[in-house]
Structure 1
């Protein structure tokens, strides 16, 4: 709080969000008091403009344990932002995004964002990350800080996820409610759309990794950067080429669908410490691997197929 000696006539009283539940889904909400490398939105909370982004909500301390939900979204605008700023090779395919979710200075979860590829365009990828906070973690000033950050990248992961993964990603909504008696969702629902998957540290020790064919992503378009490419004929030609490339990629994927081979294995890494995590292959099925985690994990565990296969999508299912 600014002391009276430093106050000015332009200072406004700080807005505090009172009571639970709390839901902030717009950058114009007065409860959103801090943004760092996040541009505010009208229908969304904001979009990350750098290698990381943080948003702070001024919440009246509820005095009880709470559950926080953060909705993260990768859309067409976000991928165009990323392509124009990172400038990947023109023939390099679009790669999944991997972002860490921090709150109150600690790692709370992670998200894999891989857009579903359609015949004409790609759809968005949306993930909800939930985590619990104790009453002591949201007391005093009542400031809830949520940050999207870059993950550690072991050698086997370096060329499988996009560089600067948080750039362009949307934060659609942050909600806070009283903590229900059940724990936060231990396993993300649904397939990831790529050959990577996440297992929370509180996830099951034994689980199935279901594998299904998916259409690989084509290269991302770039915004025109020269006088020639900005002209309408050139832009129309580029659009036709992109459509043909997307259709060709989809046709090839449909005709020659990827399937897990007899040598398909997995690798895993702890996203908090960057240390490899040991996974034991219990049983191999036609379209699934039954795995058991034999090593400890302090944070979310990222699982990747070995060898990599852009034509396969992973889904973690708790073991029976």
Structure 2
């Protein structure tokens, strides 16, 4: 008798392999076999509760190459979960999240998530990363392991990126389909909402940086921490104060100016990556001096929290 059978109960249901193509949008799907540092969801796959979150799926696909797309979300619940666990200062502003996406034990790319702030609240942010898995990377038992985890922050980004970034993030969807021809890793192509972005492996090396002004992020909402602050009168006061702080921060003028010096770092190790910056007719262009074999974090050397970046590929000069 195997050890695993000792812990089974009459209520346990066997995992049912999912066929391809697969669109997983609920953690209650019977194809979900393992969750580590995550809680299941109904309208989403799950939410990360620790410094990383992992999910294993049972897939019946024949062991051939597949294309995987992982959608990650940042919403108000994620910020509250993070604040309840990290306990930041009441004056600490919301910072962008930087995470890496790992599948079958290998990092395939990364994403930056920053919510756009409004007068009454902040909009949710979503990033989708798509990558290939070769036939050799798929396990013989049909298990697909997907993980979201934080990465090493370079020294020039200290204090500008959220610590323990994975806490509270959602996995909205996981899509898996058979792949007939190799395709490079792709990530979000729109504005990031902050002065950071990630270049995925195999991507072009030259880009034009398109910028836009965004409002400053207000202090994070914090849950009551003691018996006094849990009372309804105190909670009402805190709610009014949060709304006033948000309105005051939102009313501040945003004049970020031009893009400062651009720097780059390896997303996995945090080591510097050589990058060249040029200006053409009031626009900023960047070029990595070598091919992109691993995900690269790109950002401004000096903080510009009210500047949002969007990269547009250009032909190298």
**TM-score bracket for the superposition, by shorter chain length:** over 0.9
**CA shift for structure 1 position 192:** 0.2
Report the RMSD for the aligned CA atoms in angstroms: 1.9
Structure 2 residue 314 is the aligned partner of structure 1 residue 315: no
TM-score normalised by L of structure 2: 0.93
CA distance in 1, matches of 2:30, 2:57: 9
CA distance in 1, matches of 2:114, 2:270: 22
Structure 2 residue 279 is the aligned partner of structure 1 residue 283: yes
Partner of 2:77: 77
Query: What SS class does the counterpart of residue 246 from structure 1 fall into?
Result: helix
User: Which 10-residue stretch deviates more, 119-128 or 243-252?
Assistant: 243-252
CA distance in 2, matches of 1:133, 1:147: 14
User: Which 10-residue stretch deviates more, 107-116 or 59-68?
Assistant: 59-68
**CA shift for structure 1 position 35:** 0.3
**CA shift for structure 1 position 228:** 2.2
**CA shift for structure 1 position 158:** 2.0
Unaligned regions of 5+ residues in structure 2, if any?
none
CA distance in 2, matches of 1:220, 1:123: 14
List aligned pairs for 1:246-265, cutoff 5 A.
246-253=246-253, 256-260=254-258, 264-265=260-261
CA distance in 2, matches of 1:280, 1:54: 36
* Number of residue pairs matched by the alignment: 313
Query: What SS class does the counterpart of residue 70 from structure 2 fall into?
Result: strand
- Give the conservation status (yes or no) of the 8 Å contact 2:204–2:292: no
- Give the conservation status (yes or no) of the 8 Å contact 2:202–2:291: no
CA distance in 2, matches of 1:237, 1:101: 40
Query: What SS class does the counterpart of residue 156 from structure 1 fall into?
Result: helix
**CA shift for structure 1 position 27:** 1.3
Structure 2 residue 316 is the aligned partner of structure 1 residue 305: no
TM-score normalised by L of structure 1: 0.92
CA distance in 1, matches of 2:3, 2:245: 64
CA distance in 2, matches of 1:133, 1:170: 22
Q: 4+ runs of 1 displaced by more than 3 Å?
A: 3-14, 184-187, 295-298
Partner of 1:156: 156
Structure 2 residue 81 is the aligned partner of structure 1 residue 94: no
- Work out which of the residue numbers 261, 264, 268 in structure 1 matches 2:264: 268
Partner of 1:140: 140
CA distance in 2, matches of 1:259, 1:154: 24
- Give the conservation status (yes or no) of the 8 Å contact 1:62–1:135: no
CA distance in 2, matches of 1:6, 1:130: 34
**CA shift for structure 1 position 182:** 6.8
**CA shift for structure 1 position 57:** 0.2
**CA shift for structure 1 position 303:** 0.5
